[in-house]
Amino acid sequence: METLLDALLAFLVLTGAVFTFIGSLGLARLRDFYTRLHGPTKATTLGVGSLLIASAIYFSTRGDGVSLHEVLVTLFLFITAPVSGHLLAKAALHLRMKSLTPPPRDPS
């Protein structure tokens, strides 16, 4: 049972690490500002998500009592990440950043 739990936790932490890494890698590999926005705003949702699930399981089984802080972190992350992404994109449109595809029309 213990080993099984450890295996599950290890799997979650590793998955989280891999996806967070891929998200950051996107910053280096993608070509323009708008496509780069995609890496950090999402590959990280799953990455951070599985890290938080691992954390919740770990502290609920080893610590004292159920640990639900992680639910809150997820909630805040899901609310704030898209907002910052949206504002970055809006600012980029306003500044007319170099783009692989032209924006459809002047967003004013």
Partner 1 sequence: MSRRQGLFRLLPHPLLTPALAVVWLLLVNSAAPGQIVLGLLLGWALPLFTLRFWPERVRIHSVPALLRFIAVVLYDILVANLNVARLILGRPDSLRPAFVEVPLELKTDLAISLLANTITLTPGTVSASLGEDRRVLLVHALDAPDPAGLVAEIKSRYEAPLKEIFEAC
6 versus 83: smaller Cβ distance to partner 1: 83
Question: Min. distance of Cβ 79 from partner 1 in angstroms?
Answer: 7
Cα 76 to Cα 48, 49, 70, 81, 107: the distances in Å are 12, 12, 10, 8, 29
6 versus 97: smaller Cβ distance to partner 1: 97
Q: Which residues here bind partner 1, judged by CB under 8 A?
A: 19, 22-23, 25-26, 29-32, 34-35, 37-39, 41-43, 45-46, 49, 65, 67-69, 71-72, 75, 78-79, 81-83, 85-86, 89-90, 92-93, 100-104, 107-108
Which DSSP helix (H) or strand (E) runs through 24? helix 2-29
What is the distance between the alpha carbons of residues 93 and 88, in angstroms, rounded to a whole number? 9
Cα 73 to Cα 40, 49, 52: the distances in Å are 17, 9, 8
9 versus 38: smaller Cβ distance to partner 1: 38
